[in-house]
Amino acid sequence: MTKDVIALTPEMPDLPTLLAGLYAGGPDLGVNTTADGAVVQLCAPDGRPLVSVETPILVQVPGETTRLLGHTVEEGPVWWTEARASTAVADAARLAGSFAGRLATVLGGTVWPPEAATTDVILLTTDISAIPAPAIAAPAVDVLTETTAVVIQDRPLIAMTSWLTDALRTAADSDRALQIVTPPSARLTLPTRTALRGLPNRWVVQDPEHGYYDGLSGAVLHWKNGTFTPVQDEQGATRVAEAFAPAPDTGDRQLILTLRTRHPADENLVLGRALETAFRHLTGAPPAGWSTAEPVNLPWSTRQLTDLARARAPRPTWLVAVGHPDRPAVATVRVLRTPAGVEEDITLALGYGGDETPPLDAVEELATVLVAEHGLVTLLTSLRAARRDLTEPPRLEAPPVPVAFTLGSDEAEAIGRARAGHPPLGSPPERLGPRAKPALHYVLGDGTDPGTWSVFQRLVRHLKHG
C-alpha cells in the first residue's frame, strides 16, 4: 500500500474534521505538531510519528490534480491535504488511508489513490518499541546517514512537493546528499528533475529484476557506506543497467528555453515578466499559476511573485510555474540578488505530440522582445525527443539539441562586437534591438542533428576567449 495518500476536498478541512481523521487509530494514539505548526503528526503512544499531515493547500490552478496524479476532480478549486505514512511501521500506510478517507467522507471529496481510502479504525499490530526512533525531524526523510538523506517514494509521478523541498533543504543544510528511491514505474516532473541535477543527489530506481540503478544516468548502484554509489567493474568503469534502455521515439518533442535576465535592483522592479512574455509568445496565454512547490496552487501574479522574492532577499527564491492544461508547459525560476542587480534563471519546457510542430519560428521574435524589454543576458533554445507531458522516465532519452543562442547586448559589448559578430559558424548572427548596441542571435540548426552540440561548443569557446 502506498504511504502517500491525498484527500481532495471542495471545502477546507476544519479542526474537528482533521481530528476525526487523525483519530483513525483510536484514542490511544497521540497528536502533535512540528515545523512551526505546518505539519500535524499522528503518533504512537511512545511519541514517535506514524503519519504526518501537511497543512491543506488550496489548489486554484486548473489541471494540477490531473497533471500530478492522473486524478481528475470536479471543476473549481480543491483543497489538497497530504498524509505521509512512516515506512518503518506497516500499519502506518493504512492509518494514512483512513485519515484521508474520513476527510473525503465528511467533506464530500475524493482520495488518491482511490484504493487507499477507508474509514476503518486501524489498530496497531506492530511492536513499535522494537523500531528505532527516527533520526531526523523532516517527515519526508526515511533513512538518514552521515552523508545521505534517503526519501522513499512510491507514487507514479514524483513532484517537487513541499515535503521534498523541505527534505532537500534539510539535506543541503547538513552537507548531505538527497537520494530519492522509487519503483521503475515512477517518473519525475521537470522541477524534481531540475532539483536532482548534479551529484551528490540521485534518483535511485529499485528494479525487481536488475537491482538499483540511477534513473538519470543508468549507472548500476549499490548501498555502500551509508549511500547509494555506482558499481564499478575491474577496470574501474561504471556499469549501466539493462533496464536503462532507450525509450522508443513516439514523435513527441520538448521545446526547452534556458534564459537569464538581469534587472536593476530598484523599488519599481516587477519579476516574472520575462517568463510571462515567453509563455504568451509560445502558448498564446500567460502562465496559469505559480508556487514555491508542487502542486502549483496560486493563480499567476507577477506582483505576488515579486513580493515574495523581495521578502526573501538577499536569499534566493525558487519558483515553479505551469501553463494551461491544453498545452503542457512547466517552468522553474530562480531569483538571485547579485552585485550586478536582480537576476532570474529560467528554464521553460513545452511539450508537443508527433502531430504538432514546435514553434521554432517564434524564437527570434521572442528573443527580440526579451532583449528590448526584459534585460536578457542569454537565451539557449533547444529541442528534445522526449515525452509531451514533460515527465522524465528512468530510461535513456536523447539530450536536447541546440536550435539557437541569443547573447544580450551588454554581454556582446563586453566580449567585443568584432569577435562576437564573427563566430566560427556558417553565417553571421542576426542583430536584434538598437543598431548602436544590438544583441546577437545565432541560428544553430533545426533541432534534429545532434552534431549541433559541437557547433554550439565552438561558439561558446569563441565567445569566452573574447
Predicted confidence band at 130 (pLDDT cuts at 50, 70, 90)?
very low
Give the separation between CA 109 and CA 389, rounded to whole angstroms. Answer: 26
Cell numbers of 157, please? Answer: 509521478
- 256, 381 in Cβ contact below 8 A? yes
The share of the chain scoring above pLDDT 90, in percent, equals 71
Cell numbers of 325, please? Answer: 492544461
Cell numbers of 160, please? Answer: 517537487
Highest mean pLDDT among 40-49, 242-251, 289-298: 289-298
81's CB contacts (< 8 A; 6+ apart) are 6, 7, 8, 9, 13, 53, 54, 56, 57, 100, 103
- 6, 80 in Cβ contact below 8 A? yes
- 116, 1 in Cβ contact below 8 A? yes
* Mean pLDDT in residue range 242-256: 93
8's CB contacts (< 8 A; 6+ apart) are 65, 71, 73, 78, 79, 80, 81, 104, 109, 110, 111, 112
pLDDT of residue 127: 56
- 325, 66 in Cβ contact below 8 A? yes
**String of b and e for 23-61 (b: at least 16 CB within 10 Å)?**
bbbeeebbeeeebeeebbbbbbeeebbbbbbbebbebeb
Cell numbers of 89, please? Answer: 511501521
In the predicted model, is pLDDT for residue 345 greater than 90? yes
User: Which position has the grid cell 505548526?
Assistant: 37
pLDDT of residue 159: 97
On whether the pTM is more than 0.85, the answer is yes
Strands of the sheet with 317-322, listed across from one edge: 298-299, 289-291, 317-322, 329-338, 341-352, 253-263, 376-384, 401-407, 439-443, 430-432
* Mean pLDDT in residue range 145-165: 93
Higher pLDDT, 419 or 465: 419
Higher pLDDT, 46 or 233: 233
pLDDT of residue 466: 61
Largest separation between any pair of C-alpha atoms in the chain: 78
In the predicted model, is pLDDT for residue 126 greater than 70? no
Distances (CA, A) of 192 to 107, 179, 181, 340: 31, 12, 13, 29
Q: What is the pLDDT of residues 354-373, one digit of tens each?
A: 999 999 999 999 999 999 99
